[in-house]
Amino acid sequence: MRIETRRLLNRAFSSLGLISIGLMALVLVVILTPIIAKGSGAFVFRSTVEHRKLMFDHWNRGNPERVKQDEAKAAVARAPVYQMLSDFKAELESMPRAERSRYKKPLRAVETALGRLLGPNPGSRTPVLMRQQYGATRWDRTQAKLDNLLYSEEWDYSNPDALGVKVLRPRVEDFRTTKLEPLFGYVKANIKPMMRPRWTFYWQFLFDTSKDSHIFGGIGPEVLGTIYLTLGAMLFAVPMGVIAAIYLCEYSREGRVISFLRICISTLAGVPSIVFGLFGLAFFLNTIHVSNSKSVLAGSLTLALLILPTVIRSSEEAILAVPRAYKEAALSLGAGRWYTIMTVILPAALPGILTGTVISMGRAAGETAPIIFTAAVSVGRPLLPIEALSQPTPALPWNIYNLCTEHEAVDEIRHVQYGMVFTLVALVLLLNVFAIVMRARISKKLRG
Amino acid sequence: MKKVLLSAAAIAAIALSASAEQKIVIDGSTTVGPIAKAFAEYFMAAHPDVNITVSESGSGNGAKSIMNGVCDIADMSRPMKDSEFKAAADKGIQPVAHVVALDGLPVLVHPQNPIGELTIEQIRDIYTGKITNWKELGGPNLGIVVITRDTNSGTYETFEGMVMNKEKITEKAEYVGSNGAIRQRVQSTPAAIGYAGLGFVDKTVKALKVNGVYPSAGTVRTGEYPISRPLFMYTNGYPKLGSPVYQFVTLYLTEDGQEMVDQIGFIPVTSY
């Protein structure tokens, strides 16, 4: 081959490599940017007085006097709204019946929209469902709910050959020349004093239990459940995996059985995770009954099976990478096989084993399919470690899916979804960083 | 050493059995899910020592779970089938039904769709694939995107029983896994048609009149709305009176329980 051709090929190859690395970085940025931008919205946002009321009522957070003051100030700003409403109701009473019924439906719509924005009317009975006990707790939701109060969405189907067109009709038009007419203008102009938005750092989002199926509160049980499941899986998979790897590398004699076993392990690594999930349900729950319902234990066992091949493989590679001279030196000094493994080979292989372990830990934390049938639920309390043996738990990967698709009020809780995604990604990222740091430290120590 | 281990095991066993009594595991329908979740929240607020977990995996799964003894309450949006009763009885499980709410099955389209009303026959023709364009029903010239639930779903079986009349759903239909997913699919696709529980209808989708009747509390309760059904919670035997499970499955009879069912969007079971 001529030298120019070789150079050209070389250059083409390296530029292809660069392009693919650049592409990967771009994808990472494209994926991570919205996750970080929107996910941080669950932690840092403009909270309204309703949020602070909620925090005080349910978690006893905040200075009682200041919360009271806050509420009182908001109540002062809101008073004219309720005054107009009751004035209008009095006006209704004096109307002839035919005219009264004309206002019935629009009035109910206004009252509902007002309830969603401000919470229940002062003095009325407290609703049972928590989502109706409070108005909009976030400023971004406040805007949406304000629009909902000011405008009714209608659809114009006048052109039968085309799709309808959305028409935003100001609700004020329903109430022209009545005592309710000024309400809309007033709410629009005074929304800030009524809701008193303020920047808040809600770090407790990570630890709080969810209230009213994730509409309020945080993701504490999910985070805890994910940690339990991951640690549980490691508890089973790491000892078994490392021991299996030691056996395969140091004790077993290469033969048909061992190579068959290796094929089995590689195959296991390629089995789709949902199959592990179904296996976990069929075996751990329905056959050997490790617990009498879904439980963290059953989920951990299933996840352990899922990551076992990765742990075995990475440990094996790490052990094989230990220079032969180490082993020979130890044996020549008269150390037994067991002693050699424990004092020479394992310590030297530790960084590699650890990396594989932590990477599979990240996988276990993020897997959804294996825990759907064995461990994960939509809502539940945070568990004590002892309860984890017999009880199921919410867990981040499953709840992300659940909130995105199954939840009845998806649009209300987008911030919780993003918060969960953000937390899960951060968790996995942290694990990986931890692995890198550990590896660096241990290999430094070993080099002396 | 042995003694320590034994006593540790004994303590663990006691702790386990103690905590086992304090849990109620609920599995099943995604339609009943919101009710179960709201009830669980309410119940746990009053009984802090009980942990209630709710999963939403579909009615079929709920039935299987209670048969295998891995849940205490199975939410179902359809009655149990004979085969399921038989399988349960074979395993020594006696399913008892508690009707916690009523539900209509609104047929949903995108709000942009000018169609406001269909007959059962038209809906069936859409789902069998005989009608494939909204134009045939007087709408715009748009191919219909048929969305249906997975076969594990009680909502699917209700729909199949009440609308399909034993005819097969077209192969072009798109199967999704939950009520929420149906709503999301319909709200993002102007040409779509789907169906879901009443509690999942909001202003992002449009419920159609079926045979001239709009699905509402009144029309469902009287049976005027043609696609309606009860929602169930199944327990193994009638729960022991006074037990947490008993209190939970009778919650729908209380005033608060009825308010919750109503506010979530379903229809409380009342005798007045």
- What structural domains does chain B harbor? 2-102+230-264 (3.40.190.10), 106-222 (3.40.190.10)
Mean pLDDT of B170-181: 90
- Contact list in A for residue B136 (CB cut-off 8 A) is none
- Convert the pLDDT of each residue in A328-349 to its tens digit: 999 999 988 889 999 999 988 9
Q: Any chain B CB within 8 A of the CB of A373?
A: yes
CB B33 within 8 A of CB B193: no
Query: What is the predicted pLDDT for the residue at B9?
Result: 53
Query: What is the predicted pLDDT for the residue at B14?
Result: 47
Write out residues 124-163 of A within 8 Å (CB-CB) of B.
127-130, 132, 153, 155, 157, 160-163
Query: What is the predicted pLDDT for the residue at A381?
Result: 87
Query: What is the predicted pLDDT for the residue at B223?
Result: 87
Pick from B73, B82, B77, B78: nearest CA to B55: B73
Q: What is the mean pLDDT of chain B?
A: 88
Minimal C-alpha gap between B223 and chain A (Å): 24
Q: How much is the CA Rg of chain A, to the nearest whole Å?
A: 31
- State whether B184 and A405 contact (CB < 8 Å): yes
- Contact list in B for residue A125 (CB cut-off 8 A) is none
Mean pLDDT of B245-264: 92
- State whether B68 and A390 contact (CB < 8 Å): no
- State whether A164 and B41 contact (CB < 8 Å): no
pLDDT interval class at B17 (50, 70, 90)? very low
Enumerate the CATH 1.10.3720.10 domain ranges in chain A, comma separated: 220-447
pLDDT interval class at A42 (50, 70, 90)? very high
pLDDT interval class at B5 (50, 70, 90)? low
Query: What is the predicted pLDDT for the residue at B203?
Result: 86
- Residues above pLDDT 70, as percent of chain A: 100
- Residues above pLDDT 90, as percent of chain A: 56
Residue of B nearest to A377 (CA): B55
Q: Any chain B CB within 8 A of the CB of A380?
A: yes
Can you tell me whether residue A161 is helix, strand or coil? Answer: coil
- Convert the pLDDT of each residue in B77-93 to its tens digit: 999 999 999 999 999 99
- Contact list in B for residue A160 (CB cut-off 8 A) is 114, 138-140
Query: What is the predicted pLDDT for the residue at B79?
Result: 93
Point out the residue among A153, A381, A393 whose CB comes nearest to the CB of B203.
A153
Mean pLDDT of A287-314: 92
Query: What is the predicted pLDDT for the residue at B19?
Result: 47
**pLDDT of A45 higher than 80:** yes
Q: Any chain B CB within 8 A of the CB of A47?
A: no
- Residues above pLDDT 90, as percent of chain B: 67
Dist CA A320 CA A349 (whole Å): 8
**Is domain A220-447 annotated with CATH 1.10.3720.10?**
yes
Dist CA A44 CA A22 (whole Å): 32
Query: What is the predicted pLDDT for the residue at A62?
Result: 87
In degrees and rounded to multiples of 5, residue B198 shows phi and psi of -60, -35
**pLDDT of A294 higher than 70:** yes
pLDDT interval class at B149 (50, 70, 90)? very high
The torsion defined by the Cα of B174, B175, B181 and B182, in degrees rounded to 10, comes to: 60
- Convert the pLDDT of each residue in B224-240 to its tens digit: 999 999 999 999 999 99
- State whether A211 and B264 contact (CB < 8 Å): no
> What ipTM was estimated for this complex?
0.86
Question: Could you give the count of Cα atoms lying within 13 Å of B45 in the half-sphere of its Cβ?
Answer: 12
**pLDDT of A86 higher than 50:** yes
- State whether B256 and A128 contact (CB < 8 Å): yes
pTM of the model: 0.88
When scoring A290, A400, A408, A413 by the number of chain B Cβ atoms within 10 A, the one with the most, hence best to mutate, is A408
Query: What is the predicted pLDDT for the residue at A10?
Result: 93
Question: Could you give the count of Cα atoms lying within 13 Å of A90 in the half-sphere of its Cβ?
Answer: 7
- Contact list in A for residue B260 (CB cut-off 8 A) is 128-129
Dist CA B257 CA B235 (whole Å): 18
Q: How much is the CA Rg of chain B, to the nearest whole Å?
A: 21
Strand ranges (E), chain B: 23-28, 51-54, 73-76, 95-104, 107-109, 117-118, 145-149, 174-176, 192-195, 206-207, 209-210, 228-236, 267-268
CA distances from A387 to A190, A252, A284, A290, A371 (A): 50, 40, 17, 13, 17
Point out the residue among B12, B71, B176 whose CB comes nearest to the CB of A293.
B71
Minimal C-alpha gap between A258 and chain B (Å): 37
CB A144 within 8 A of CB A179: no
Query: What is the predicted pLDDT for the residue at A219?
Result: 93
DSSP A323-366: -HHHHHHHHHTT--HHHHIIIIIHHHHHHHHHHHHHHHHHHHHH
Write down how long chain A is.
448
pLDDT interval class at A395 (50, 70, 90)? very high
Q: Any chain B CB within 8 A of the CB of A51?
A: no
Residue of B nearest to A383 (CA): B51
Minimal C-alpha gap between A294 and chain B (Å): 7
Tokens for A405, please give them. Answer: 């698709």
Point out the residue among A378, A407, A410 whose CB comes nearest to the CB of B55.
A378
Query: What is the predicted pLDDT for the residue at B7?
Result: 55
Q: Between A and B, how many CB-CB pairs are < 8 A? A: 145
Point out the residue among B30, B53, B69 whose CB comes nearest to the CB of A406.
B30
When scoring B17, B42, B51, B137 by the number of chain A Cβ atoms within 10 A, the one with the most, hence best to mutate, is B51
Minimal C-alpha gap between B38 and chain A (Å): 6
Point out the residue among B15, B30, B37 whose CB comes nearest to the CB of A386.
B15
**pLDDT of B11 higher than 60:** no
